[in-house]
């Protein structure tokens, strides 16, 4: 429970800093609306061996589902998204 709570806080904070609005809840994952189709980010992260789910699986094509990982996993994800959004 502690790992999930801390991971959710870490991801919510990091994504908010990057200008995204994660939807808060108590599950061990976040849903985030990217405001544009999400498959490009999903594919790019996949190439970096970072795996997230496209919202298209739930008829939400601009969303992604991000599972809570370890602190290091979450840092890697946030760092990759930071790099990709700076280059966009």
Q: What is the pLDDT of residue 38?
A: 95
Residue matched to tokens 């946030």? 78
Predicted pLDDT of residue 87: 67
The residue assigned the tokens 């996993």 is 73
Predicted pLDDT at 79:
96
Phi/psi-derived region of residue 17, left when phi > 0, alpha when psi is between -120 and 50, beta in every other case: alpha
Helix, strand or coil for residue 36?
Answer: coil
Mean pLDDT by 10 residues, the chain (88 residues): 92 95 87 94 96 95 96 96 83
pLDDT at 83: 94
DSSP tag of 70? -
Quote the pTM value.
Answer: 0.88
């Amino acid at each position: 429970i502690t790992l999930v709570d801390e991971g959710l806080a870490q991801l919510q904070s990091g994504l908010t800093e990057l200008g995204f609005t994660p939807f808060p809840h108590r599950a061990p994952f976040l849903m985030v609306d990217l405001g544009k189709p999400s498959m490009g980010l999903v594919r790019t992260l996949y190439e970096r061996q970072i795996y997230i789910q496209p919202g298209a699986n739930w008829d939400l094509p601009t969303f992604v589902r991000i599972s809570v990982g370890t602190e290091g996993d979450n840092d890697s994800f946030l760092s990759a998204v930071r790099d990709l959004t700076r280059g966009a």
